[in-house]
Amino acid sequence: GQNIDQPTEMTATEGAIVQINCTYQTSGFNGLFWYQQHAGEAPTFLSYNVLDGLEEKGRFSSFLSRSKGYSYLLLKELQMKDSASYLCAVREGNYGGATNKLIFGTGTLLAVQP
Protein backbone atom coordinates (compact mmCIF):
# COMPACT_ATOMS: atom_id res chain seq x y z
CA GLY A 1 0.00 0.00 0.00
CA GLN A 2 0.88 3.66 -0.01
CA ASN A 3 1.49 6.20 2.76
CA ILE A 4 1.60 9.80 1.57
CA ASP A 5 2.39 12.74 3.84
CA GLN A 6 2.04 16.44 3.18
CA PRO A 7 1.66 19.45 5.48
CA THR A 8 -1.94 20.21 6.32
CA GLU A 9 -1.80 23.96 5.84
CA MET A 10 0.56 26.64 4.58
CA THR A 11 0.36 30.40 4.29
CA ALA A 12 2.28 32.58 1.84
CA THR A 13 2.27 36.11 0.52
CA GLU A 14 1.17 37.28 -2.89
CA GLY A 15 4.13 37.51 -5.25
CA ALA A 16 6.28 35.15 -3.17
CA ILE A 17 7.44 31.58 -3.74
CA VAL A 18 6.14 28.59 -1.79
CA GLN A 19 7.29 24.98 -1.69
CA ILE A 20 4.89 22.20 -0.76
CA ASN A 21 6.55 18.95 0.22
CA CYS A 22 5.29 15.42 -0.14
CA THR A 23 6.86 12.22 1.13
CA TYR A 24 5.64 8.77 0.27
CA GLN A 25 6.22 5.14 1.10
CA THR A 26 5.19 2.72 -1.54
CA SER A 27 5.12 -0.93 -2.43
CA GLY A 28 4.82 -0.09 -6.10
CA PHE A 29 5.62 3.30 -7.61
CA ASN A 30 4.84 4.37 -11.13
CA GLY A 31 4.74 8.15 -11.11
CA LEU A 32 3.78 11.08 -8.92
CA PHE A 33 1.14 13.66 -9.68
CA TRP A 34 0.20 17.05 -8.26
CA TYR A 35 -3.34 18.29 -8.47
CA GLN A 36 -4.94 21.58 -7.48
CA GLN A 37 -8.38 21.62 -5.92
CA HIS A 38 -10.44 24.68 -5.06
CA ALA A 39 -13.02 24.16 -2.35
CA GLY A 40 -15.99 22.14 -3.56
CA GLU A 41 -14.56 21.77 -7.06
CA ALA A 42 -12.93 18.98 -9.04
CA PRO A 43 -9.20 18.38 -8.74
CA THR A 44 -7.28 19.60 -11.79
CA PHE A 45 -3.96 18.23 -12.99
CA LEU A 46 -0.86 20.35 -12.42
CA SER A 47 2.21 18.20 -12.97
CA TYR A 48 3.64 14.71 -13.34
CA ASN A 49 7.03 13.21 -12.47
CA VAL A 50 8.15 9.66 -13.09
CA LEU A 51 11.92 10.20 -13.32
CA ASP A 52 14.12 12.01 -10.81
CA GLY A 53 14.51 15.71 -11.34
CA LEU A 54 12.63 18.90 -11.91
CA GLU A 55 9.72 19.46 -14.26
CA GLU A 56 8.87 23.09 -14.97
CA LYS A 57 5.55 24.34 -16.24
CA GLY A 58 5.17 28.10 -16.17
CA ARG A 59 4.83 29.31 -12.58
CA PHE A 60 4.67 25.72 -11.32
CA SER A 61 7.54 23.25 -10.96
CA SER A 62 7.63 19.80 -9.44
CA PHE A 63 10.60 17.79 -8.25
CA LEU A 64 10.98 14.08 -7.59
CA SER A 65 13.56 11.96 -5.81
CA ARG A 66 12.56 8.30 -6.03
CA SER A 67 15.38 7.10 -3.77
CA LYS A 68 14.18 9.43 -1.00
CA GLY A 69 10.46 8.98 -1.63
CA TYR A 70 10.18 12.75 -1.85
CA SER A 71 8.58 15.33 -4.07
CA TYR A 72 7.84 19.00 -3.89
CA LEU A 73 5.66 21.43 -5.77
CA LEU A 74 7.08 24.92 -6.22
CA LEU A 75 4.76 27.81 -6.93
CA LYS A 76 6.31 31.09 -8.02
CA GLU A 77 4.89 34.62 -8.27
CA LEU A 78 1.97 33.62 -6.11
CA GLN A 79 -1.43 35.03 -6.96
CA MET A 80 -4.55 35.19 -4.82
CA LYS A 81 -6.22 32.65 -7.11
CA ASP A 82 -3.55 30.10 -6.09
CA SER A 83 -5.31 29.76 -2.73
CA ALA A 84 -6.45 26.13 -2.91
CA SER A 85 -5.63 22.62 -1.76
CA TYR A 86 -2.68 20.94 -3.43
CA LEU A 87 -2.87 17.17 -3.61
CA CYS A 88 0.07 14.86 -4.00
CA ALA A 89 -0.82 11.51 -5.56
CA VAL A 90 1.20 8.40 -6.27
CA ARG A 91 0.33 5.99 -9.04
CA GLU A 92 0.32 2.30 -8.32
CA GLY A 93 0.53 -0.25 -11.05
CA ASN A 94 2.33 -0.51 -14.35
CA TYR A 95 2.24 2.34 -16.82
CA GLY A 96 -0.12 1.47 -19.61
CA GLY A 97 -1.55 -1.33 -17.55
CA ALA A 98 -5.19 -1.61 -16.72
CA THR A 99 -4.75 -0.86 -13.03
CA ASN A 100 -3.37 2.64 -12.72
CA LYS A 101 -5.06 3.98 -9.64
CA LEU A 102 -3.86 7.16 -7.99
CA ILE A 103 -3.54 7.20 -4.23
CA PHE A 104 -3.88 10.71 -2.86
CA GLY A 105 -2.45 12.42 0.18
CA THR A 106 -4.82 14.45 2.32
CA GLY A 107 -3.74 17.66 0.62
CA THR A 108 -2.10 20.91 1.67
CA LEU A 109 -4.40 23.91 2.04
CA LEU A 110 -2.52 26.97 0.81
CA ALA A 111 -3.70 30.43 1.78
CA VAL A 112 -2.22 33.30 -0.22
CA GLN A 113 -2.40 36.61 1.62
CA PRO A 114 -2.09 40.11 0.15
Partner 1 sequence: DSGVTQTPKHLITATGQRVTLRCSPRSGDLSVYWYQQSLDQGLQFLIQYYNGEERAKGNILERFSAQQFPDLHSELNLSSLELGDSALYFCASREAGGGTGELFFGEGSRLTVL
- Please report, as ranges, the residues that interact with partner 1 according to CB under 8 A: 31, 33, 40-45, 48, 87, 89, 91, 93, 95-96, 98-107
CA 105 to chain centroid: 9
What are phi and psi for residue 70, nearest 5 degrees?
A: -140, 140
Task: Give the residue among 62, 54, 55, 57 at the shortest CA–CA distance from 86.
Answer: 62
* Cβ 33 to partner 1 shortest distance, Å: 6
Name which of 53 and 96 has its Cβ closer to partner 1: 96
* Cβ 15 to partner 1 shortest distance, Å: 29
* Cβ 114 to partner 1 shortest distance, Å: 27
What single letter denotes the amino acid at residue 63?
Answer: F
